[in-house]
């Protein structure tokens, strides 16, 4: 029997949103592991918990939180897209358009969210008047 040779990786919107879904999913999984451990410090002592929370407030980790929110938001929006492809009769027909909706909503939310999340860091670093 002649096997259909080649690959299922087709590129374009469908494949890349699938790749991004996997990558963001793995990132979120590893953050969750760290997050359960850091939260568990509330059972050790208030001081040890407060010290780990202080690292969350530093500029570098603050920037990583923006990345985390972006990753979670993409994963959530693309997850909704996946469910629409699965359960909505016209889902597969509009999967490409839905990818652009996902990216548009992501950017639309992330611009003000990034501003809000980093305002304190910028004020602390550069002494902004806001």
Partner 1 sequence: MTAVTETQQDRLVIEAPRTRKKRPSQSGRGTNFEMYAWIFMRMSGLLLVFLVLGHLSIMLLLDGGVQRINFGFVAGRWASPFWRTWDLMQLWLAQLHGTNGLRVIINDYAERDGTRFWLKMLLYTSSFLVLVLGTLVIFTFDPDLAG
Asked if residues 102 and 78 have their Cβ atoms less than 8 Å apart, the reply is yes
CB contact set of 118 (below 8 Å; sequence gap of 6+): 62, 63, 66
Does position 20 interact with partner 1 (CB under 8 A)? The reply is: no
CB of 6 to partner 1, least distance (A): 7
Report if residue 128 touches partner 1, rule: CB under 8 A.
no
Q: What is the DSSP string of 4-35?
A: --S-S---HHHHHHHHHHHHHHHHHHHHHHHH
CB of 100 to partner 1, least distance (A): 19
Q: What are phi and psi of 2, to 5 degrees?
A: -85, 115
Contacts to partner 1 by CB under 8 A: 1, 3-4, 6, 8, 22, 25-26, 28-29, 32-33, 36-37, 39-40, 42-43, 45-46, 49-50, 53, 56-57, 62, 65, 68-69, 72-73, 76, 79-80, 82-83, 86, 113, 116-117, 120
């Amino acid at each position: 029997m002649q096997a259909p040779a080649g690959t299922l990786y087709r590129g374009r919107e469908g494949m890349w949103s699938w790749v991004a879904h996997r990558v963001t999913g793995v990132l979120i999984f590893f953050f969750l592991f760290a997050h359960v451990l850091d939260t568990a410090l509330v059972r050790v002592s208030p001081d040890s918990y407060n010290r780990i929370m202080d690292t969350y407030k530093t500029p570098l980790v603050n920037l990583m939180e923006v990345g985390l929110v972006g990753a979670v938001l993409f994963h959530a929006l693309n997850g909704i897209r996946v469910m629409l492809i699965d359960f909505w009769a016209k889902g597969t027909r509009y999967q490409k358009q839905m990818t652009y909706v996902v990216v548009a909503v992501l950017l639309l939310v992330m611009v003000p969210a990034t501003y809000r999340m980093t305002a304190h860091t910028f004020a602390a670093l550069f002494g902004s008047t806001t």
